[in-house]
Each structure stands twice: as C-alpha cells, then as structure tokens.
Amino acid sequence: MNDTPSYGFDTLQIHAGARPDPATGARQVPIYQTTAYVFRDAEHAAALFNLQEVGYIYSRLTNPTVAALQERIATLEGGVGAVCCSSGHAAQIMALFPLMQPGNNVVVSTRLYGGSITQFSQTIKRFGWSAKFVDFDDAAAVEAAVDDDTRAIFCETIANPGGVITDLDAISAVANKVGLPLIVDNTTATPYLCRPIEHGATLVVHSMTKYLTGNGTVTGGVVVDSGNFDWTASGKFPSMSDPEPAYHGLKFAETFGPLAFTFHGIAIGLRDLGMTLNPQAAHYTLMGIETLSLRMDRHIANTKQIASWLEGHENVAGVTYAGLDSSPYKELESRICPKGAGALFTVALRGGYDACVKFVDSLELFSHVANLGDTRSLVIHSASTTHRQLTTEQQVAAGASPEVVRISIGIEDADDLMRDLDRALKIAHG
C-alpha cells in the first residue's frame, strides 16, 4: 500500500500499517509480546545502535505491533511518521522534549483539558520550561505572546471540555510568521473529522485512549510528524540541528530529513524517557481504529440531535456545541471540521453547581467517569474533577465553569439518552 493517496479513509483505517505476518500469514496484526529481538550478527547489532539501519532492538524503543499502529495513524493524519507512547500526557511531553531547553516557553491555548493546563502551568516548570496561556480566538494575542524564548505553539482542534473549535488556519499563519512549530492535540476531532497538518500543523498529538481506541480499554498516546518543518532555519532547535553526542555527532535533521523528529522521538525520547506503549494496548487501538469512521458518524448524528434538544430544555441555560446554528464557532465547523463538530460539549444548568452535582448523580445510562470518546455516553462535572486543581478564573477560561457539565455522547440510541438526560434534569431541578 505504497500509493496511499489513492485509498479512501475507510480503507486506510483498516489496511494502513497492516500486512500479513511473514512468518505465519496471520491477517490481523499479531501482538508481539517480546522484550528483545535477536540480531543477525554483531555487525547488524552495531548498525542498529548507530541508527545506520532501521530495525528492532528492544521494545522500549520499537516493537512490530506498535510500529503497525504508528504507520496507520501517520497515514490517517497525513504525516511522514509517528511515535506512540504510554498516554496522551506522555505524547505532549514527547512532542516538547526535542524542542525545549531550560528557560524556553510554549504559548498555549487557555481552552485545554484540565490535566493539560496543570501539566503546562505547573509540571513543566520542573524541566525549566514555562507556558504562556492565551485566548486562541485572538490570533494577534497569540503572536504578541511569542518572544525570543518561545519554542512552540500548542492548542486543541476541538477543545475539551467545551467543544470549541480552534481556527487552525489563523494560528498556523501566526506560527509560520514567527518561525515556530504548531502542535495540535487532535484527540477530540480525530483524523476523520480534521487533519491538522493540512491546516499547517507541524506536529499532531493524540490521547489514543479516547476516540482512536474507542472502547475504554487502554491508555496510549501518539505524536505525528508532518515532516514539513525546517529545524535548521533558526538555530532554535539544537536537538534537531546540532551534533548529537550520544550518536557520535550525528545531526538528526541532516541525516533523516523530513523524518528527523520521528527518529529523534524514538532514538532519544523513548530511549531516555521510557514512555513506552505496550504491544497489547497497541493491538486494541489498531482494532478500534478499524471502525473509527463508522463510530464517529454515529457519535456526531447523536450529538447533533441531543445538543439541539438540550438547547431548548427548560432546565438548561446554554449548550456549547459548535455544531449548533447558534454557536459562534459554526463557521469554523464547516472549514476546520466539515464532517461534524465532534461529540463533546458542555451544558450549563440552571441552578448552578448544586444542580450539576445532583444531575450527574441522577443519570443511569451515562457513566460518570474521567474519560471521553467511548462508545458509551459519559458525563463529568469538570469543575469538581478534571479541572478541580485550577483557579476559578482558569476554569472559566477553559470552559469548565462550576455551573457546567461535560457530556461525551456515545453511540447508543439517541432517544434512550435523551430520556435519561430529561429525567436527571427534572430531578436536579425538582
């Protein structure tokens, strides 16, 4: 399947990266549950360790099951390569690791998953990095936040929890102007709804835990490399452009060209950070991706119906779904996510915080969990859980105000879900 542009998404989500096992002829990608791999001879081993030959050394670095998943996701996203790792949070660190040095900063959107806000505002300080939070609806503010120490710009395609769509075209124009890579978290959109690389993204990250796997069984992350960024142009990315002491002076950008970031992610990132994805988790995600387009179509059909119904409910003060005609982000849906605005949104309840808590506790079909993107419909009160560590101001900026509930619509019968929601809303306001 080398001529990938001739294949449609539905075909690629099944076949990309998957070839019959040469040893057995197995049609499904096997789970290569092994730690290490036998070298042909000493020369072969040396060539692998010197990055002179591509192959398998040790499963912290590379594994055939994981490699198949990397190829599939890179193909679906339109990238040149990908590096899988243990979680979405790991993917974010893996994306920043080759770019940042102590004293550097990253400009990030205020509308992010609560754990990401904590990671960027608190945890990365331990690396000597910092983050500047900006409203990405204002591209001029994003540009103004960039300084000589900025090394990347980061946002989500469809923001968690509010379902707000980012104008990737406008933000990538800023990134190009200032000569910085744009990193886009595409978890809630998936490559079926949006391919950020086509809108100018340099790197794409996912929490594969969510829609890509789709069944709530594993955690996993991935960084997809567009291959389009010139890492040598500014002198700001020495990990990519300068000699690497651990590989006898090898220069990743010079040696690997468009695949420089991907090779660095494996040879340095996974080698030293060890955020490895296990092969069984990769297998579950491969199987999940086979039905991605089918699931996303059902997710979106359900969400459009339910969000529209909720918008008119007497106990609901507002719905944030970008697919609604009333949404200020409706135009961005047609341009950035033309197949639909995803299946994640928030609902503001009349009655505030107390009504939200009572509502969540009264639902039966909806599972109250700290996850999204499952085939099952999920609900959580972000202000008291996923965004609890944030200040009230940060919660409001992120779209996780105390009076809102985050809803992730699954693929069940929409009428059943609406009955459950209606009953819980009446209890919450009874």
pLDDT digits (tens, 9 = 90+) for 231-247: 999 999 999 999 999 99
49 band by pLDDT with thresholds 50, 70 and 90? very high
Percent of the chain with pLDDT strictly greater than 70: 97
Pick from 351, 330, 336: nearest CA to 425: 351
Structure tokens given for 405: 């509930």
pLDDT at 387: 64
- Residue 26, judged by CB atoms within 10 A of its CB (0-12, 13-18, 19+), counts as exposed
Q: What type of residue is 274?
A: G
Q: What is the DSSP pairing of strand 81-85 with strand 221-225?
A: antiparallel
pLDDT reading at 2 higher than 60: no
Tell me the whole-structure pTM to 2 decimals: 0.95
Q: What type of residue is 135?
A: D
Mean pLDDT of the region 189-199: 98
CA distance 64 to 282: 10
pLDDT reading at 1 higher than 50: no
CATH 2.40.240.20 for domain 12-99+181-288, yes or no, is: no
Instruction: Write the pLDDT tens digit of every residue in 87-128.
Output: 999 999 999 999 999 999 999 999 998 889 999 999 999 999
CA distance 217 to 62: 22
CA distance 395 to 406: 13
Percent of the chain with pLDDT strictly greater than 90: 89
Mean pLDDT of the region 135-154: 98
Instruction: Write the pLDDT tens digit of every residue in 257-301.
Output: 999 999 999 999 999 999 999 999 999 999 999 999 999 999 999
Mean pLDDT of the region 23-27: 91
**Can you tell me whether residue 182 is helix, strand or coil?**
strand
pLDDT at 265: 98
Range with the poorest average pLDDT among 11-25, 148-162, 352-366, 383-397: 383-397
Which stretch of DSSP H or E encloses residue 286? helix 279-289
pLDDT at 4: 45
pLDDT reading at 391 higher than 80: no
Domain assignments of the chain as residue spans, ordered by start: 12-99+181-288, 292-428
32 band by pLDDT with thresholds 50, 70 and 90? very high
Pick from 132, 139, 137, 128: nearest CA to 117: 132
CATH 3.90.1150.10 for domain 292-428, yes or no, is: yes
